[in-house]
Amino acid sequence: MKLNIYIFLILYIININSILEIKGYPQSKENVISLKLANAIKIQTISYGSYDVNSKKDNQQFDEFIKYLRVTFPLIHNKLKVNIINNHSLLYQWEGKNKDLLPILINSHYDVVPVDKSSWTVDPFGGVIKDGYIWGRGAIDDKSSVIASMEAVEYLLSQSLTLKRSIYLAIGHDEELQGAQGHKKIAEYLMNNKIKAEMIIDEGNPLREAGYMGVKNKTSVIGVYEKGSLFYTISANGTTGHSSMPPSLKSPIGILAKAIIKLESNPVPYFEDKQYQNPYLDLFSPEQISTNPSLYYIKRTTTTVTMFNSGIKPNVLPVSATAWVSHRVAPGIDIPSLVERNIKLINDTRITLKVLSTRPLSPYSSPNSTSYNAVKQTILRVFGDNTEVYSGGMLANTDTIHYWHISPNIFRITPIIVNDNDYGIHKSDEKLSTTNLLNFVNFYENLILNMNK
């Protein structure tokens, strides 16, 4: 078995070298790491939800990804303790000498959301490298985190570094489905083994480039909390029949459309919460905040209709219509009260609201801790001392919900510099610059070193 792995590894290394030579890439650190991410993107580890009735998880792709990591990062797999959790999630342990120091947990995930290939200008699973970018689904969310964190550890192992503080790499396989089979199981493993962490790092806010909306310097917002969430469906029923002889002028689609207009036209009221502060917003005028969604929704609850399903044929009246609605719930908003508010707002007994899932507002991690300062100092070291670093909220949700009992210090950051044009998580033509990927790796290297002084 070991012989087969070694043979495969040798062939893989030869293949990497030949690809680099054929493409004309110099074998620089940046290009080699970029190729590792590009090849990871080629493996189609797609998470399908229950609404994807015609698709299901391809276990072979997930198995292939684990094999890919094994041959791409040989030192990690030879020197660290490796736990495969629930078949497809991974937990790597790099043991530190000082058992009195709580470990660092670096989280990531390798599953990705589905794609509509018709809206892409490149093959979303082609592993394309062009124009200084790695293109494809997962380039940012979140295979970049997987590759960057493992590359950092692989490099530090090659330098024969001895750790004082243990490091864990926790890699989930179903974050896009809320992590119930992945990071939740990893967290249960840690609890069962009485393992607590000094700090947890997970995906989060990227840095903004200098000049963004008039701000002179690069800015970074370390996510010290994340919003809650509420997902539900609204449905209406009717009577089917031929479109030439409608039994009623009030079709399920029309009924539901009115409800959607009410939801979208009446934003959830804003409430100030004194604990969950966002000093980053003080850099902008009220007008700037109100016209920029990435700023406006830091403090407000979103209302988004994400899917709609009705009808089977153009000339057949639908018997029902269903819409899926998502709220990312800001501090100060009670989720049960929000559900009641929406029912009253719709005010139509023909419509049924069914809650699919909820997630509470996360705990607030103090920006005054030693761990927070280590993250801040790492950002300054990698991106420059003139970078402005703030604490604040995270717009989306992460798998950190499963780790609230593992550490009080949970920080969400994606250490890349972006503008509004190239930050394409869950969008078509998702891409990450090769320079950003190198910064990603440097961030993890420096964070590990900072926490081991």
Q: Which residue has the higher pLDDT, 299 or 246?
A: 299
pLDDT at 154 over 70: yes
Strand 316-317, strand 241-242: pairing: antiparallel
Q: Residue 23 corresponds to which tokens in the numbers above? A: 């493409």
Q: Residue 207 forms beta bridges with which residues? A: 417
The answer to whether residue 24 scores a pLDDT higher than 60 is no
pLDDT digits (tens, 9 = 90+) for 435-452: 999 999 999 999 999 999
Is 196 found in the same domain as 112?
yes
Q: Take residue 130 and report the two structure tokens written for it.
A: 């062009």
pLDDT > 90? residue 433: yes
The total of structural domains in the chain comes to: 2
Residue 26 has pLDDT above 80, yes or no: no
- Do 295 and 220 fall within a single domain? no
7-21, 28-42, 97-111, 204-218: least confident range: 7-21
pLDDT of residue 249: 66
**By the 8 A CB rule, do 65 and 150 touch?**
no
What range defines the domain where residue 35 resides?
Answer: 2-225+363-450
Residue 8 has pLDDT above 50, yes or no: no
Q: Does one domain contain both 52 and 177?
A: yes
**What is the average per-residue pLDDT within 390-409?**
95
- CA gap 398, 176 in Å, rounded: 9
Please report, in angstroms and rounded to a whole number, the separation of the first and last CA atoms in the chain. 39
Q: Average pLDDT in the 10-21 region?
A: 43
How far apart are alpha carbons 275 and 166 in whole angstroms? Answer: 32
Catalytic residues: 111, 175
Domain's final residue, options 333, 359, 385: 359
- Among 55-64, 183-192, 414-423, which stretch is predicted with the lowest mean pLDDT? 414-423
Tell me how crowded residue 283 is: count the other CB atoms within 10 A of its CB.
Answer: 19
CA–CA dist 298, 389 (Å, integer): 16
Run of H or E residues at 130: strand 128-130
As a whole-number percent, the residues of the chain with pLDDT over 90 amount to: 81
pLDDT at position 14 is 43
- Fill in the DSSP letter of residue 219: E
Does position 16 have pLDDT exceeding 90, yes or no? no
Alpha-carbon distance values, 25 to 31, 126, 404, 439 (Å): 7, 18, 43, 19
- Structure-token pair, residue 375: 């993250």
Contacts of 3 (CB under 8 A, 6+ apart): none
What are the angstrom distances between the C-alpha of 266 and each of 88, 324, 357, 398?
42, 17, 22, 27
Q: What per-residue confidence (pLDDT) applies to 315?
A: 87
Same domain, 347 and 374: no
pLDDT tier for residue 336 given thresholds of 50, 70 and 90: very high
| Chain centre to alpha carbon of residue 442 | 20
Residue 411 pLDDT greater than 90, yes or no: yes
pLDDT at position 242 is 67
**Residue where a domain terminates, one of 337, 359, 381:** 359
Quick one: 331 and 413 in the same domain? no
- Tokens, residue 19: 């690809």
Query: What is the pTM for the complete model shown?
Result: 0.88
Q: What is the mean pLDDT of residues 288-297?
A: 90
Whether residue 339 is found in the same domain as residue 371: no
419, 333: one domain:
no
1 burial class (0-12, 13-18, 19+ CB within 10 angstroms)?
Answer: exposed
Picking from 359, 382, 399, the residue at the C-terminal end of a domain is 359
8 A C-beta contact, residue 149 and residue 444: yes
- Specify the CATH number for the domain of residue 14: 3.40.630.10
| Separation CA 361–CA 341 (nearest Å) | 18
Name the helix (H) or strand (E) containing 75: helix 74-79
Question: What pLDDT score does 423 carry?
Answer: 65
| pLDDT number for residue 53 | 58
Region 274-299: what's the mean pLDDT?
Answer: 91
Give the single-character DSSP code of 46: B
pLDDT, mean over the chain = 91
pLDDT digits (tens, 9 = 90+) for 219-262: 999 999 999 999 999 999 988 776 776 776 688 999 999 999 99
Please state, in angstroms and rounded to a whole number, the distance separating the CA atoms of residues 287 and 306.
27
Q: How many other CB atoms are found less than 10 A from the CB of residue 244?
A: 7
Question: How far is 128 from 65, CA to CA, in rounded Å?
Answer: 18
CB 138 within 8 A of CB 430: yes
Residues 342 and 404 in one domain: no
Does residue 192 sit in the same domain as residue 63?
yes
- The pLDDT confidence band at residue 20, using thresholds 50, 70 and 90, is very low
Identify whether residues 78 and 203 lie together within a single domain: yes
The pLDDT score that the predictor gives to residue 294 is 85
Q: Give the model's pLDDT for residue 322.
A: 98
* Domain CATH number, residue 313: 3.30.70.360
Cis status, amide bond into 123, omega within 30 of 0:
no
What is residue 27's predicted lDDT score, i.e. its pLDDT?
A: 56
In a shared domain, residues 96 and 216 = yes
- Please compute the mean of the pLDDT values over residues 335-356 and round it to a whole number: 97
Distance CA 26, CA 85 (A): 37
What does the CA dihedral 265, 344, 230, 272 come to, rounded to 10 degrees? 70
Tell whether 389 and 355 lie within a shared domain: no
Lowest mean pLDDT among 203-212, 340-349, 420-429: 420-429
Give residue 287's pLDDT. Answer: 94
Burial class (CB in 10 A: 0-12, 13-18, 19+), 296: middle
How distant is the alpha carbon of residue 187 from its chain centre? 17
Closest C-alpha among 224, 271, 189 to residue 375: 224
